Amino acid sequence: MTDVSTRIDEIVKKSDIVLFMKGTALFPQCGFSSRAVAILDHLGVAFETVDVLQDPEIRNGIKDYSDWPTIPQLYVKGEFVGGSDIMMEMFEAGELQQLLTEKQVAKA
């Protein structure tokens, strides 16, 4: 593993839910990131965010780490779940709620 993927590995394993995004939960800098935050807020779960705009190494490294070309990216218990479109599709189908229950992620 490269240094950056080791760093990412540590980040996604440290918290139950991690969202790599542009901007912060309070001030998202992109519509897709904003939508991802809104979904997690709506689910009422605690989550960590990583602002990739503040960290070019992570911004590039995360794309290789997950083989996924875009930001935001959601990780639950260290596992890549998807980007904002997948989050929305899963949320609407009730699958995201189900995943969090299965993974025993507690409500905030």
Partner 1 sequence: MPMPAGEIESLIREGIPDARVEIIDLAGDGDHYEARVVAESFRGQPRVKQHQRVYQALGGRMGNELHALKLSTAVPE
Q: Which stretch binds partner 1 (CB under 8 A): 7-15, 16-24, 85-93, 96-104?
A: 85-93
Q: Does 3 bind partner 1 (CB under 8 A)?
A: no
Whole-number minimum distance, CB 84 to partner 1, in Å? 8
Q: Tell me the C-alpha to C-alpha distance, in Å, between residue 18 and each of 36, 99.
A: 11, 14
Nearer to partner 1 among residue 15 and residue 66 (C-beta): 66
Q: Which amino acid is at 63?
A: K
Asked whether the beta carbons of 96 and 45 are under 8 A apart, the reply is no
Q: Does 86 bind partner 1 (CB under 8 A)?
A: yes
Q: Does 28 bind partner 1 (CB under 8 A)?
A: no
CA–CA dist 77, 104 (Å, integer) = 9
Token representation of residue 60 = 């590039």
Residues 36-75 that bind partner 1 (CB under 8 A): 63, 67-71
Among 90, 96, 100, 105, binds partner 1 (CB under 8 A): 90
Asked whether the beta carbons of 53 and 21 are under 8 A apart, the reply is no
Q: Which amino acid is at 5?
A: S
Residue ranges binding partner 1 (CB under 8 A) = 31-32, 63, 67-71, 80-83, 85-86, 89-90
